[in-house]
Structure 1
């Protein structure tokens, strides 16, 4: 059954990409290819004007017109639905053997087309499909072999110095070692089993997740507070604009130009304040997103059954950022329009007052402080 399945698959594989035919076409010499594969191949022959078969090298002029071979396409679809069934004796709950796809671990024993590996042996340093793992289940010779979920990085679990399994953790040097290492260059160091160290690191990982969640909650609170500050800024700015509009409409024609200037400067100040707040809001949201992604990675790592993989990944984790306040915004900014009220009763000083106050507002907008880095700086 397995031989027939693999033979059928090979018969309908593209000679260029070596995968099952996709949109199969048959060229004049009789060979079959994926439409995209042969098109890409012939595109490179456009300058010569002579097109050849990548398999038999037969040449064609002009470029043949390609049409999908529906019969072969139907056969390919049937092959895709086929499954290679594992032989009797496999665990009842194991899935049927299937072809190794992208990202799957391939069986090291399968020749030709590889099936998906279901287990890896830390003693043999090999991965096996359902069929080829059976001797490990059935033969007493493999009874003491350590089986784990299929893994691509088996060599990472082997000591590069002694070619032995990494099953000890040196707390002195903070690294995974083999038993011979513990008796040699790590002699006298504080060592424990990888399983024991994983248990300890698992506990620390749980604390890291709690810290991460706490930081997320704090930053979410900062976002809510900053959003409220932004709303207050907009309301305050809008109120200032409305007040200035009401006052300036009562003034004589000679101060119309001043009214427009004040309105423009208030808007400019609003824009400046909101720009800072929006920049900080984006920064906080990005940090929260980064922390959520970090938490997801920590959660995934916490479920790892592979001690060595867990310890190696855990030791490479960067430290969590601390909780800091990044903003300090005046929730009730002053948009000065007091001079406008004075102008109503003191018309004789109109020009002097208007010029003086406009200069004050201009300084707020043009003399902008350095970009705030902390909450304290932002509140200034």
Structure 2
């Protein structure tokens, strides 16, 4: 019998209802075989009695008797399958927590390899074999193992959820399409799956792009921090070097001052010591003569006194000390001269510092040209947009919102809303001018008050030598020389506007703590012509980088 069973295929021992090896197999009149329990339950539910395979209808319910031959063959096949499963179970994995177990395994549950959407069961390698070999089971849809296969069935019609209702955005079965979802837009589940999968893949790609951009931003920020640290370390090293040199210079000047004063004092003490020594010598000689005179004056021998007088030494030579004195040295001006010399040294050091600073800010030089749409009608602009001066005639120009109509000012075409920028303007020969930056929303009509509260960060020259920072109130600036070229540097994020005297390599002033929230435009105010005294133009000059 075992030899004969080897000639039979495995699907011949499977019940087409339970899809498992026959248990108490019975044959019905049409010749098909089923488990006795399976066909009994099937006919209990479905009336009239009908063969599940060929659909033949029986008017009278057939009497069921167990086919002992097929039963023995099925028992042998089941035993063979169990032995095979037993021998291969060591090669398969027992289902661990979180893994889908085989629904057919008894005792130890093996890990399922696939789940069947038709059978609504999951199978290990051994119990999956019929689905891979039996012709009618090959048509079943297998997927990667999943739990809760019952959730794939329609709770209302107990049918497989194989369609998708786009109207209600829910999965439905075939019977749902003729009832609750009859007029809805329904598509096969696979079609919606492909569409949603494509959307997910697109979203995933976009998400990955966002991740990539943010990683690049992280690298950019980290690089900025590295550059900031390098700048900070370099600035600290430079600052320490400068202050060390200044400290050494101050200490050296202090030591020289002390040495000068002490040298004068030592000279005075030496002179006084010489005078004292001479005076003490004269006192000693005078004391000796006084003693001789006193001794002789005490003698009562007339003859001896008269005879001894000629033998007395003459008076010792002495100096006339009436006009002799020790004058304390004069220290007036000693400290002042030392500080003045130190100031010269500090000025040289400051010039070096400003040269280094100017060299750094010049790295942010930008091209700037004048915007004729903002210029007051009396201003004359050069064709290249680099020069502006006040003219005698008021041109007939459109009074657009950007144009200054009362103050003779003009803005640049370029605007800046982040980072740092620098430009230079020649002011040579002008007794009056105004320079700086202005925010986009400034008032350009009527009289204008230049201060940060109104959106202007400026310095100006009035009456040839009166320089002011246009703050509220304005601050008078003290300059050693009149600038011929002014450099303007802005650090947007730092809130800083600095003005430099390029020719003197010096800082004119810095406006700090500025609050920038809009675009900034370079601002140029050549002021009125004043009868020709102020006819020279403001010239946006090329930046010659400091060597």
Same structural fold, with TM-score higher than 0.5 when normalized by the shorter chain: no
Q: Which has the higher strand share?
A: 2
TM-score (norm. length: structure 1): 0.40
Which TM-score applies when normalising by structure 2? 0.29
Compare CA radii of gyration and give the structure with the larger one: 2
Higher relative contact order (CA 8 A, sep 6+): 1
